[in-house]
Amino acid sequence: MASPNTSTEIDIAKTLGVSRKRAFISRLFKFLLWCLVLAALGGGAYFWLNRDTTASVTYETQPVGKGNLVVTVSATGTLEPIKTVEVGIEVSGTVKTVEVDYNDRVEVGQVLAQIDTSKLEAQALQSEAALESARAKLLQAQATVKEAELQMARLEDIKKLSDGKMPSKFEYDAQKAALARAHAEEAGAKAAVSQAQATVDANRSDLAKAVVHSPVNGIVLERSVEPGQTVAAQFQSPVLFTLAEDLTQMELQADVDEADVGKVKEGQDATFTVDAYPNRVFPAKITQVRFGSETVEGVVTYKTILSVDNAELQLRPGMTATAQIVVDKREAVVLVPNVALRFSPPAEEEKQDSGGGMLLSKIMPHPPRPSAAPRAANNVNNKAQEVWVLRGGKMTAVSITKGLSDGKMTEVVTGELEPGMELITDMTGAK
């Protein structure tokens, strides 16, 4: 008969054996589960890293065109009359009347304004009286000369009849001096008459200048005088009116930047717009490119004059205009958009070897590799250029030689491009 201790030990051993087996099975199940998880993660990473990304690339294109290319230079300026006359006055006084107003058309000789002439008339009368007095003194001096000449002739006769004995030398010389004095007084009287005459002429001129006349046929642009106003002309002639001789022909004084002035020449055509008529384009033609420069806030410009036909009188002096000067043009040429010239495809990444360790190297972190050398950017100043087209779903470079450009389109001088071909301007979705 077995003892109780022996039976207990057998039960414990059976229990321990079952527990070890269950623990082994549990660890094996967990290991297999982690292996499945790692395999799933590795497979997903492999397929994600080796997916084909080229299928998602989309291209933006623009067609090659054919047409006329016009190269222009932009400039701003103001419209001015070809000839402007400032009408002033040379005499001082009080304005009596003003005969014209703004925008009035005037003709040569037309009265514009008048000065009160009361004082000028009095001065003219005074100078005329002085002239009469000088003339009277001249007559008196001429009579004195006549008298002295007669006396001198009498002494000559006496001297001849007396065979030189009469008159005395003193008496003869005294009469000779008296005749010279009479001639001198006559000359002084004549000078006084001339001086008085000049004063009369000046006063009469001032009296005539008291009436302001128009020197040209034109339009009154400015009027800076009112009736009753006192004008003073002691040091400088005050400007009373500003007249434009002819507003049907005007000029646009444009400021051309120093970078563009080498392209601008006399005789070139141009167009311009003004804010008053935003939907209308006015023609013009360059008549002068001045050599003198103007510097404003460090910007150097050159004054360029453009002739403008203003037969409808819609344009007014002082209007600000924006001009487009045609400096060159081409007709019926192949054109490419400039955005296609700026496009350059990204450098492709070097594909790694598909050998062992590829998956691990992609999953595990590693130091960054040096990227492939980027494609040399196209030099915009160089005439040689590459553009990209799609052929068979792949990008293909086409070499061209550039010509003129207006900022949006560029002329193709040489190159295998035909109108209608699509040029790549951008790509999205690339790896």
Domain residue limits, the chain? 1-51, 56-68+334-428, 73-82+247-330, 85-113+218-245, 117-209
Name which of 418, 329, 408, 336 is nearest 68 in CA terms.
329
Q: From the first residue on, what is the mean pLDDT of each consecutive set of 10 residues in the chain (431 residues)?
A: 53 56 73 79 71 66 90 94 92 92 93 92 92 94 92 87 84 90 94 94 91 93 92 83 92 95 94 95 96 93 96 93 93 91 72 45 48 42 81 85 89 88 81 48
pLDDT at residue 375 in the model: 44
The model's pTM is 0.63
Domains 73-82+247-330 and 85-113+218-245 share a fold: no
What phi-psi label fits residue 275: left (phi over 0), alpha (psi between -120 and 50 degrees) or beta? alpha
The Cα–Cα gap between 384 and 186 comes to: 96
73-82+247-330 adopts what CATH topology? Answer: Elongation Factor Tu (Ef-tu); domain 3 (2.40.30)
pLDDT at residue 354 in the model: 44
Q: 380 with 330: CB under 8 angstroms?
A: no
| Residue with token string 């806030």 | 297
pLDDT at residue 20 in the model: 65
User: What's the one-letter identity of residue 279?
Assistant: N
Q: What is the CATH number of domain 85-113+218-245?
A: 2.40.50.100
Q: What is the CATH number of domain 56-68+334-428?
A: 2.40.420
pLDDT at residue 223 in the model: 93
pLDDT at residue 166 in the model: 83
pLDDT at residue 360 in the model: 46
Residues in the chain: 431
The Cα–Cα gap between 18 and 28 comes to: 16
